[in-house]
Structure 1
């Protein structure tokens, strides 16, 4: 009797070196309870020393494994046709010295960038002219504009990036997060196209 199983491969999973990758790790499975438990423990791949940090598991490999387990199973595939398996070591502790050096580099780099931009657009001259228009007096350091502007610049950056340290202001992603997501999507697509041996057919394969 034919049994129908629905599987949906995950886009990306993370594993440790020398781990075994089971079907439950790389896919969502819909099947009868007994069959679901059996398929969940179906071995798909074993990480070895010869593997690099990224492995592509194609849906055809998964279907072949299921067919070896039980040829009467009708596999219905939903979603992506490949899973990216990334082999990662245990997280290393961040060095406090490296963290402080990186923080100083970013802080002073950002500070100099903003200062150079303000110098290029003559921001101080603009503030001086605005001060004279509103008060009729000359002032080389119009703090009435410069202090609120500096505070507003910092608040604007917080709102733009939608984060205060690790705390998110709202559920809407920031422009930086969207760009990082798009970059990750392009990177994943590149990896799938160049690392997936199942989809690469060479001349000598004819």
Structure 2
């Protein structure tokens, strides 16, 4: 244990929400937290090993702030540690992914394409879209036609443009900085997933009193 000879012996740490790591990687304090302290002290603290990923670990690991503080105290007992922000960090272990199968990709693409097309057609059938367009055409022109292309063609183009504006993307290019509804839903899903992992994967939270 080494002593700290500085006037200010208080350090401030903030746990990162989520980090990605490789299998069997050693995680140090600098990887898991942000530190505010004397520059010399930071360089020493950053080298403290917090966790060693092993083959037994699954793809999600939760590091509790109490474990981090305990590791700091083991190395430097006279430091006062102030934790700010979240109390846990989620470690996502990234394993090598197999190459994407081209036939599977094509199959999924066709499945999504025809599935979405059928969903749109079924919706239009439910609300009698063709009958509505026929009546609007008759009201405006005074003529009755089975296929009012004057409305159907602009409507089809507008439907595609509306989907682009809704998802705020043209392929990989974002139209503006505002998140799309899908991105907001994905963000909420990720937040809920992180909360679940913190509650049920954190060994500190799942301590069984009858085993002690």
Corresponding position: 1:112 with 2:104: no
What residue is the counterpart of 1:161 in the other structure? 167
Q: Distance in 2 between matches of 1:5 and 1:27?
A: 12
Match of 2:136 among 130, 137, 155: 130
Q: Distance in 2 between matches of 1:163 and 1:138?
A: 39
TM-score (norm 2): 0.93
Provide, for residues 144-200 of structure 1, a one-character-per-residue CA deviation record: whole Å limited to 9, x for no partner.
Answer: 000000000011111111111111111111111111111111111111111111122
What residue is the counterpart of 2:186 in the other structure? 180
Alignment of 1:24-103 (within 5 A): 24-103=30-109
Q: Could you say what secondary structure the match of 2:190 adopts? A: helix
Corresponding position: 1:13 with 2:19: yes
Give ranges in structure 1 of 5+ residues lacking alignment.
none
Q: Distance in 2 between matches of 1:166 and 1:203?
A: 51
Q: Distance in 2 between matches of 1:96 and 1:26?
A: 38
Q: Distance in 1 between matches of 2:35 and 2:98?
A: 33
After the TM superposition, which parts of structure 1 deviate over 6 Å for at least 4 consecutive aligned residues? none
Query: Alpha-carbon deviation of 1:108?
Result: 0.6
Match of 1:191 among 197, 203, 211: 197
Q: Distance in 1 between matches of 2:49 and 2:124?
A: 60
Provide, for residues 70-122 of structure 1, a one-character-per-residue CA deviation record: whole Å limited to 9, x for no partner.
Answer: 01111111110000111111344322222221111111100010011111111
TM-score (norm 1): 0.96
What residue is the counterpart of 2:158 in the other structure? 152
Aligned-residue CA RMSD in angstroms?
A: 1.3
Q: Could you say what secondary structure the match of 1:111 adopts? A: helix
Q: Distance in 2 between matches of 1:177 and 1:92?
A: 26
Give ranges in structure 2 of 5+ residues lacking alignment.
none
